[in-house]
Amino acid sequence: MGYRTTRRGAMALAGSAATALAGCLGAGSDAPAASAPAGGPPAADRSPHLAYERDRIREGVVSGGVSKDGIPAIDDPTVVDASSASFLRDEDVVFGVVRGGTATAYPRAVLVHHEIVNDRLDGVPVSVTYCPLTGTAMGFERGATTFGVSGDLVNSNLVMYDRATDSRWPQMLGVAVSGPLAGRPLREFDLRWTTWGRWRARHPDGGVLSRETGYVRNYGVDPYGSYGPRRGYYARDDTMFPPLTSDDRLPAKRVVVGVRTHDGAAAVTRTRLRRRGVVDLSIDGERLVIAHDDALDAAYGYRVPPAATVTAGEDGVVVDGAARPAAALPFARWPAVEAMWFAWAGFYPGTVLHA
């Protein structure tokens, strides 16, 4: 069967890979105070944009109806070879990540029941997270601790907690809003939202998270609906919980690809990105470009020097006259988050929108 576990390299020290993941938010002046408590996940150098005071976000936290860890994170994941993943159909959604030359796919059908996988990629302890109600898949470094599902939501978004300090971290914000680590930003890396067939064609020798999670669930059943075809919660225009801020520029569940810097946020609809191939989402002079990978039907974000020319071409993305694949532009990667519009606009009111 070709099973391998992701516990290999267990002696790797949690904090030793601080710079290992590409796409971490850039350096700046908002590092957490030196007096910040020890433990917990490692801090990014600079916090992404927060449109609200933390008090306002805390006031928006509501119970999601489940107990703390009532949605159990996968703490001991098992990865199988792509050739062994007979439980996946080509059209099934997976979240893909490549680290250290190894590709790993996380099936949405598994994560919809667990929301967090505490894994180790290329020796780095990470958490791969997914919130069904906001349609967001994001990756974070976790250091020596693990993340769990608090059972709370804010703006319909998963509120994680770290098991070292019990601080609370709304997934989309990537910043603790309460607890001993309040204000600490997480080191973030990006995932590809694509389908199993597309991902396997790109990475035939990669691994995939198996259904041997240590828990029993009906992994073929999504309690919210379906993505293929889009049904239930994912298709309806209303939400279970009111957003922090409503914005009717787009239907609530329309998917956008968003980026945020320390100073602001911007987003493009997935349909526009697919049509244009490359979209410039610069924020306050910081040049960020989103490139569409046609083969994966997925987005890649980059921080681009001001003088570079980046355009869509017949065979990928043209950078300063040379065609390159969207997945390998010669720039620093920047997390580009796919999200339902209501969730993005709720966290980032006034976001620049390219529709």
Partner 1 sequence: MRDRTSATLRGVFAALRRPDGRAAFLLGLVGYPPLYLASVGHLALGARGHSVRVVADPLSRALRPTRPFSFEPVARVALEPVALLVSPLDVGVALVLAVLVGCNLAVGLVAWRSPAACGVEGSAGALAGVPALLTGATCCGPAVLFALGVGAAGALLPVLRYATPAAGLLLLGGLFLVAGRQD
Determine which residue in the list 242, 313, 325, 349 makes contact with partner 1, applying CB under 8 A. Answer: 242
Instruction: Assess 153 for contact with partner 1 (CB under 8 A).
Output: yes
Minimum CB distance to partner 1, residue 65 (Å) = 3
Task: Single out the residue of 116, 121, 120 nearest to residue 171, CA to CA.
Answer: 116
Minimum CB distance to partner 1, residue 36 (Å) = 30
Query: Of 93 and 133, which CB lies nearer to partner 1 in the complex structure?
Result: 133
Minimum CB distance to partner 1, residue 62 (Å) = 7
Determine which residue in the list 2, 16, 215, 355 makes contact with partner 1, applying CB under 8 A. Answer: 215
Contact range with partner 1 by CB under 8 A, out of 112-120, 272-280, 292-300, 345-353: 112-120
Minimum CB distance to partner 1, residue 63 (Å) = 6
Tokens representing 13?
């020290």
Query: Of 233 and 331, which CB lies nearer to partner 1 in the complex structure?
Result: 233
Instruction: Assess 63 for contact with partner 1 (CB under 8 A).
Output: yes
Instruction: Assess 16 for contact with partner 1 (CB under 8 A).
Output: no
Q: 95 forms bridges with which residues in the sheet?
A: 106, 193
Query: Of 100 and 220, which CB lies nearer to partner 1 in the complex structure?
Result: 220
Instruction: Assess 233 for contact with partner 1 (CB under 8 A).
Output: yes
Determine which residue in the list 21, 24, 25, 71 makes contact with partner 1, applying CB under 8 A. Answer: 71
Instruction: Assess 62 for contact with partner 1 (CB under 8 A).
Output: yes
Nearest-angstrom CA–CA distance, 350 and 343: 13
Size of the site for partner 1 (CB under 8 A): 35
Instruction: Assess 204 for contact with partner 1 (CB under 8 A).
Output: no
Q: Which amino acid is at 104?
A: T
Instruction: Assess 315 for contact with partner 1 (CB under 8 A).
Output: no
CB count in 10 Å sphere of residue 217: 14
Mapped to the 3 state alphabet, what secondary structure does the chain carry? Answer: CCEEECCCCCCCCHHHHCCCCCCCCCCCCCCCCCCCCCCCCCECCCCCCCCCCHHHHHHCEEECCCCCCCCCCECCCEEEEHHHCCCCCCCCEEEEEEECCEEEEEEHHHHCCCCEEEEEECCEEEEEEEECCCCEEEEEECCCCCEEEEEEEECCEEEEEECCCCCEEECCCCECCECCCCCCEECEECCEEEEHHHHHHHCCCCEEECCCCCCCCCCCCCCCEEECCEEECCCCCCCCCCCCCCCCCCCCCCEEEEEECCCCEEEEEHHHHHHHCEEECCECCECEEEEEECCCCEEEEEECCCCCCEEEECCEEEECCEEECHHHCCCEECCCEEEEHHHHHHHCCCCEEEC
Instruction: Assess 3 for contact with partner 1 (CB under 8 A).
Output: no
Determine which residue in the list 64, 139, 264, 277 makes contact with partner 1, applying CB under 8 A. Answer: 64
The answer to whether residues 200 and 206 touch, using CB atoms and an 8 Å cutoff, is: yes
Query: Of 201 and 240, which CB lies nearer to partner 1 in the complex structure?
Result: 240
Determine which residue in the list 10, 27, 240, 328 makes contact with partner 1, applying CB under 8 A. Answer: 240
Contact range with partner 1 by CB under 8 A, out of 35-43, 130-138, 192-200, 334-342: 130-138
Determine which residue in the list 54, 58, 163, 217 makes contact with partner 1, applying CB under 8 A. Answer: 217
Q: Draw the binding track, 30-49, toward partner 1 (x: CB under 8 A; -: no contact).
A: --------------------
Instruction: Assess 83 for contact with partner 1 (CB under 8 A).
Output: no
Residues that bind partner 1 (CB under 8 A): 62-67, 69-72, 112-113, 115, 131-133, 153, 156, 158, 214-218, 220-221, 223-224, 232-233, 238-242
